[in-house]
Chains A and B, each alone.
Chain A
Amino acid sequence: MTTPFTYLEPAGLADASRLARQEGAMLKAGGIDLLDEMKEGLVAPEKVVRLSALKGMDRIEVKNGKLRIGALVTLATVAAHKQVREHARILAAAAGQAATPQIRNAATVGGNLCQRPRCWYYRHEDFPCRKKGGDQCFAETGENRYHAIFAADGPCHIVHPSALGTALAALGGQILVFDGQKSRSVAVEQFFALPSVDVTRENVLQPGEIIEAVEIPSAKGKKSAYHKQRERLAADWPLAEVAVVYEVKNGAADGVRLVLGHAAPIPWRCPTAESYLSGKKIDAGAAAEAARLAMAAAAPLAQNEYKVPLFTVLIARALMAAEKGEPA
């Protein structure tokens, strides 16, 4: 069900930020997630601020060894873009495998990072869950096969849905946030926030703040891989998602960033596994041990225990694929 709203056309980014601060206003880029939420009756904005026409936010450029992708670039463009594939191939892979061709042609980088979780209790208007201001998490004792296996203290057990978030965290990306006057750079890990910080939100954006772009240090020449497992081969959310990036120095892994998607309420880094791998030559044994370490702290719910062996094998496979230089 949708309710009537006023469609606002901002003159520029600062104007968009000003409009977004108004009572009852929400931002719209590709509109994929916003429309889903409106149809289910989860949100009923009185004002919708249209970002799509903003100038300059749909560009991709490489400067000083950094790849900069405007927040309004579509996933389809990210997937196909030559420079993205060259400097951040796992980001192109993540974007290209998300959702469906129709959605990838409308969904934007900024929207993908800011989309709300797919938890079926959150998405169903009849469940007044914590994320919607209620006082319980229905997943804790309910149907939780697709929920988180980390951050067991909750108080909400969503998995973050953003494929780009997982890949960007592995790439060590930064998110440029415009606050109405100026932009600041936020590391991807600092951008996403656990439910224990604020259960009603998934990131640190304040009202009126808008993602302007993402910046990624070039991963050209680095080893990387992006693996995911779905029930359906297309148009399905992953059961488990793994992104890994590292450099090889003197034949050994260095600066390993191993990030799991659909494991936790945020893109989930695996510091123990990362430090174990640093300085090691990655082979089957090291990959398996890293996977074991990454899963050591997993605390699955009643129905998602399968994710532990699934992540274990996907992590090992991703590490070996990266090491062998297989296509992302």
Chain B
Amino acid sequence: MSEVKLKLGIPGKYEERVVTLPEGEPKPYDADSKLSVVGSRHPRLDGFAKVTGQAKYAHDIRLPDMLYAALLSCPHPHARVKSLDTSAAENMPGVKAVVAAADQHVRFAGQYVAAVAAETLEQAERACRAIKVDYEPLPFVVDLEEARQPGAPKVFDNRDSNVRAADPTERGNLAEGFAAADAVVEATYKTQVQTHACMETHGLVAHWEAPDKLKVWSSTQGTFAARDNLARRFELGAENVEVITEYMGGGFGSKLGLRDFESAAVELARKAGRPVHLMVDRKFEHLSTGNRPNSVQVMKAGCTKDGKVTAWQVDSYGTSGIGGGAGVANPSVYDFPAVRKTSADVYTNAGPGCPMRAPGHPQGIFAVESMMDELAYKIGMDPVEFRRKNNSHPIRDAEFELGMKAIGWERRNQTPGAGPGPLHRGIGVASGRWSNVGERRNSRIQVRVAIHPDGGVEVENGAQDLGTGTRTIVGLLAAEELGLPVEALTVKIGHTSYPYGPASGGSSTAPGLAPTVRKAALLARRRLFEVVAPALQAQPEQLECRDGKITVVSDPGKTMDWKRACGLLGTTPINELATRSDNFDGWQAEAAGVQFAEVEVDVETGRVRVLKVVVVQDCGTVLDRLTAESQVIGAVIQGISYALLEDRILDRTTGVMVNPNLEQYKIAGSWDMPEIEAIMYDAAIGYNNAGVNGLGEPPVTPTAAAIANAVYNAAGLRMRELPITPWRVLAADAARRGGRS
């Protein structure tokens, strides 16, 4: 144990902290750290491999004798499988194995009921259609409001109703809060179901190397979770299951567990005695692999005329289909003195929701930040000033300043909707939040660093790269400790034969891995210094490594280049395994971000164009400025798409999704993209030795709200329902003019 003094905070608000660290822990990054590689703008180490097609995704795996699997889905939203006859399918050309789902009670249209493996995908698909299933259709409900009604068809027979309410929460005195308010707004906000729409659909390639030895190339967010799930499901020792995810094409939270249809592919491989390739098609991806639940948020809030929110009331409900977890992050971002909240999950006969990039947050913050805007306009206060009066986060407060400057906040409409002609421009603001400094599930994370006698360095951790640039930041952190260019290192990730790594959920990968990489690299460096010190006639602690050289700090003439130094190892490489240390107390564990959107609204056609989005976002230490900005930009793209376009549409009469494709399930394309300015706000936050907070999720949380608020500032139309489509804008405009709505 040792004590170190750290300078944490942001310019103008630094604090000195003394923290106690376990033995072997590197000195945490703080405001005075001088970093050369970490925090630079470094292109992704695997960018070239990805854009040239050299990178092999699970989709790309081709093994000798490999079969292809296809899935049969139920066309009914609710049915019992009376009988399932696979005999005709089994006799079709090329078919090698057929399996049926264990669950004979189907609760949504698209649910997997059987799978076929054949020599070609076409043969497997044709054989699926030859499976004879006799369904007994049952009453169903897909509409959120209908499902809440007494007497609605029940999704689960063993429940009293489709509504599962959470315990209400209350803090402060709501009645007093409203009594103290000078202005009160009541409004209902609604958000839609969004699907993850991963570029690489779900699936895996399963290969039984022996009857008790399984190797799987999986498109997963959690290599080790997948391994453990497979081991349990197929009653194998974890040591006999190998999961490989060297590259993956997006998950957004939907690839955290092993799915029944993925197990089916592994079962097919066992039955057929040959490797099986299953990557689901786009339709199945939309229907069955998860989604962001919808929400209805019935709200009432009050504030004083000088801008302090005094009372906040929200009753929310939403459907996660046959799943749970439709709760919303409302209230969020701000601290209010009096809050009452109720929320409920409503079951419907639709595909199960699952975690999606900041679960509960984009929908909750859309309502929170819309309501904040409505209150600000109601009392005639600058919307940024109003937010700052209710914000207690020092980073967010500083970010507002930067954001206002970058967007040109003074250009906003003083009178929303004013001005002649159909085209109106305006600017809106919203704040986001998230928090993951790596405390929760990362205690077992380990990283191995090897230094070879020929000078080569390997950095190993078995976690996958969800697409955020994990490989690159691991390389940069190790390069920083070893004083080498990152290109001199070999980073090995995405394989369960490497040391244990985290699942990429909750923005936990970087805060889990970064401090462990530093620690392993430091241990390896110390071992190398012990070997090199005698040759430089110095003590190990007198050495430093920088620019590919090991040098005596006090006597720079005594120096040795990296390769020669490693040669002193003889034949034995250095091999250091570090385990992640517990977090220590830091400065700000919650990541803050603000976003400003500028839009143009055509009130005659209802078309909303986003012209510019400015993001100011903190994530503690910025490990690679380029990949960090790229994550922010990607989040904004997804946020714009959520705000204006994406919508899973279930046919009200049949319960079947009518847009299970990428044609009518509309995702914003390059032409819809505005200029996106990502400003990373550097903060020294502590908590872990790299001072890293998660970044994958926070920047997606406020985008839709910022756009809706910009539409109001532009056109004077308050859009309380997502997506903000032309017909909703036209209806809002008609309602304002007193016409039909």
Q: Which residues of chain B come closer than 8 Å to A82, judged between CB atoms?
A: none
Bound CA span A237–B664, Å: 9
Minimum CB–CB distance from A207 to chain B (whole Å) comes to 27
Segment touching B, from A135-143, A211-219, A249-257: A135-143
Segment touching B, from A47-55, A116-124, A180-188: A116-124
Bound CA span A126–B657, Å: 10
Question: Which of A124, A229, A231 lies in contact with B666, CB distance below 8 A?
Answer: A231
Q: Which residues of chain B come closer than 8 Å to A235, judged between CB atoms?
A: 669
Question: Which of A2, A233, A239, A303 lies in contact with B726, CB distance below 8 A?
Answer: A239
Question: Which of A124, A303, A310 lies in contact with B730, CB distance below 8 A?
Answer: A310
- With A231-B725, A233-B672 already in contact, the answer to whether A310 and B605 are too (CB < 8 A) is yes
Within residues 89 to 110 of chain A, which ones have a CB less than 8 A from any CB in chain B?
Answer: none
Question: Which of B109, B607, B645 lies in contact with A229, CB distance below 8 A?
Answer: B607
Bound CA span A305–B671, Å: 27
Confirm or deny: B658 has a beta carbon within 8 angstroms of a beta carbon on chain A: yes
Confirm or deny: B604 has a beta carbon within 8 angstroms of a beta carbon on chain A: yes
| Chain A facing B: main interface SS | loop
Confirm or deny: B125 has a beta carbon within 8 angstroms of a beta carbon on chain A: yes
Within residues 697 to 740 of chain B, which ones have a CB less than 8 A from any CB in chain A?
Answer: 725-727, 730-731, 734, 740
Scan A1-32; emit 1 where CB is below 8 A from any B CB, else 0. 11110000000000000000000000000000
B651 with A142: CB separation less than 8 A? yes
Question: Which of B125, B660, B668, B734 lies in contact with A232, CB distance below 8 A?
Answer: B668
A121 with B658: CB separation less than 8 A? yes
B604 with A313: CB separation less than 8 A? yes
Q: Which residues of chain B come closer than 8 Å to A237, judged between CB atoms?
A: 663
- With A126-B75, A231-B645, A234-B670 already in contact, the answer to whether A2 and B656 are too (CB < 8 A) is no
A124 with B645: CB separation less than 8 A? no
Confirm or deny: B558 has a beta carbon within 8 angstroms of a beta carbon on chain A: no
B727 with A145: CB separation less than 8 A? yes
Confirm or deny: A170 has a beta carbon within 8 angstroms of a beta carbon on chain B: no
Q: Which residues of chain B come closer than 8 Å to A229, judged between CB atoms?
A: 605, 607, 726
Minimum CB–CB distance from B577 to chain A (whole Å) comes to 49
Minimum CB–CB distance from A171 to chain B (whole Å) comes to 25
Bound CA span A143–B654, Å: 11
* Cβ-closest chain A residue relative to B109: A126
Bound CA span A1–B607, Å: 36
Bound CA span A231–B672, Å: 10
* Cβ-closest chain B residue relative to A312: B604
Q: Which residues of chain A come closer than 8 Å to B129, judged between CB atoms?
A: 1, 41
Within residues 136 to 180 of chain A, which ones have a CB less than 8 A from any CB in chain B?
Answer: 138, 141-143, 145-146
Which of A142, A145, A239, A309 has the most chain B CB within a 10 Å cutoff? A309
Bound CA span A273–B103, Å: 60
Within residues 296 to 338 of chain B, which ones have a CB less than 8 A from any CB in chain A?
Answer: none
Confirm or deny: B215 has a beta carbon within 8 angstroms of a beta carbon on chain A: no
Within residues 638 to 692 of chain B, which ones have a CB less than 8 A from any CB in chain A?
Answer: 644-645, 649, 651-654, 656, 658-660, 663-664, 666, 668-672
Confirm or deny: B275 has a beta carbon within 8 angstroms of a beta carbon on chain A: no
A232 with B669: CB separation less than 8 A? yes
Minimum CB–CB distance from B6 to chain A (whole Å) comes to 49
* Cβ-closest chain B residue relative to A119: B658
A141 with B669: CB separation less than 8 A? no
Within residues 110 to 136 of chain B, which ones have a CB less than 8 A from any CB in chain A?
Answer: 122, 125-126, 129
B656 with A127: CB separation less than 8 A? yes
Bound CA span A303–B658, Å: 15
Bound CA span A41–B460, Å: 46
Confirm or deny: A283 has a beta carbon within 8 angstroms of a beta carbon on chain B: no
Bound CA span A4–B126, Å: 10
Bound CA span A142–B670, Å: 31
* Cβ-closest chain A residue relative to B739: A309
Q: Which residues of chain B come closer than 8 Å to A142, judged between CB atoms?
A: 651-654, 658
Q: Which residues of chain A come closer than 8 Å to B645, judged between CB atoms?
A: 231-232
Scan A308-322; emit 1 where CB is below 8 A from any B CB, else 0. 011001100000000
Q: Which residues of chain B come closer than 8 Å to A86, judged between CB atoms?
A: none
Minimum CB–CB distance from A163 to chain B (whole Å) comes to 15
- With A126-B75, A138-B653, A231-B725 already in contact, the answer to whether A309 and B734 are too (CB < 8 A) is yes
* Cβ-closest chain B residue relative to A145: B727
- With A1-B125, A142-B653 already in contact, the answer to whether A306 and B669 are too (CB < 8 A) is no
Confirm or deny: A236 has a beta carbon within 8 angstroms of a beta carbon on chain B: yes
Within residues 286 to 323 of chain A, which ones have a CB less than 8 A from any CB in chain B?
Answer: 303, 305-306, 309-310, 313-314
A313 with B605: CB separation less than 8 A? yes
Interface size class of B (residues with CB under 8 A): 35 or more
Bound CA span A235–B665, Å: 12
Q: Which residues of chain B come closer than 8 Å to A232, judged between CB atoms?
A: 645, 666, 668-669, 671-672
Minimum CB–CB distance from B287 to chain A (whole Å) comes to 11
Confirm or deny: B290 has a beta carbon within 8 angstroms of a beta carbon on chain A: no
Q: Which residues of chain A come closer than 8 Å to B644, judged between CB atoms?
A: 231
Bound CA span A18–B669, Å: 43
Confirm or deny: B606 has a beta carbon within 8 angstroms of a beta carbon on chain A: yes
Question: Which of B604, B606, B669, B730 lies in contact with A233, CB distance below 8 A?
Answer: B669
Bound CA span A309–B729, Å: 12
Q: Which residues of chain B come closer than 8 Å to A306, judged between CB atoms?
A: 606, 726-727, 730-731
Bound CA span A235–B653, Å: 29
Q: Which residues of chain B come closer than 8 Å to A138, judged between CB atoms?
A: 651, 653-654
Bound CA span A124–B649, Å: 13
Bound CA span A306–B606, Å: 9
Scan B229-266; emit 1 where CB is below 8 A from any A CB, else 0. 00000000000000000000000000000000000000
Minimum CB–CB distance from B737 to chain A (whole Å) comes to 11
Q: Which residues of chain B come closer than 8 Å to A314, judged between CB atoms?
A: 605
* Cβ-closest chain A residue relative to B734: A309
Bound CA span A97–B87, Å: 50
Bound CA span A303–B647, Å: 15
Minimum CB–CB distance from A310 to chain B (whole Å) comes to 6
Bound CA span A288–B671, Å: 30
- With A142-B651, A142-B653, A234-B671 already in contact, the answer to whether A120 and B658 are too (CB < 8 A) is yes
Bound CA span A109–B332, Å: 54
Q: Which residues of chain B come closer than 8 Å to A239, judged between CB atoms?
A: 726
Bound CA span A236–B668, Å: 10
Q: Which residues of chain A come closer than 8 Å to B604, judged between CB atoms?
A: 309, 313
Bound CA span A314–B740, Å: 20
A127 with B654: CB separation less than 8 A? yes
Q: Which residues of chain A come closer than 8 Å to B734, judged between CB atoms?
A: 309
Q: Which residues of chain B come closer than 8 Å to A124, judged between CB atoms?
A: 656, 658, 660
Minimum CB–CB distance from A6 to chain B (whole Å) comes to 15
Q: Which residues of chain A come closer than 8 Å to B666, judged between CB atoms?
A: 231-232, 236
Question: Which of A126, A303, A313 lies in contact with B656, CB distance below 8 A?
Answer: A126
Scan B514-526; emit 1 where CB is below 8 A from any A CB, else 0. 0000000000000
Q: Which residues of chain B come closer than 8 Å to A309, judged between CB atoms?
A: 604, 730, 734
* Cβ-closest chain A residue relative to B650: A143
Scan B273-303; emit 1 where CB is below 8 A from any A CB, else 0. 0000000000000000000000000000000
* Cβ-closest chain A residue relative to B661: A123
Minimum CB–CB distance from A137 to chain B (whole Å) comes to 11
A120 with B669: CB separation less than 8 A? no
Q: Which residues of chain A come closer than 8 Å to B664, judged between CB atoms?
A: 118, 120, 146
Bound CA span A145–B726, Å: 11
* Cβ-closest chain B residue relative to A239: B726
**Cβ-closest 3 pairs across A and B:** A306-B727, A233-B671, A234-B671
Residue positions of B touching A, CB distance < 8 A: 75, 109, 122, 125-126, 129, 422, 604-607, 609, 644-645, 649, 651-654, 656, 658-660, 663-664, 666, 668-672, 725-727, 730-731, 734, 740
Beyond A124-B660, A143-B649, A231-B726, 5 additional pairs, beta carbon < 8 A: A142-B652, A142-B654, A233-B609, A235-B669, A313-B422
27 A–B contact pairs at CB < 8 A? A1-B125, A3-B122, A120-B658, A124-B658, A126-B75, A138-B651, A138-B653, A138-B654, A141-B653, A142-B651, A142-B654, A142-B658, A143-B649, A143-B652, A143-B658, A145-B727, A229-B726, A231-B725, A231-B726, A233-B609, A234-B669, A234-B672, A237-B663, A303-B727, A306-B726, A309-B730, A313-B422
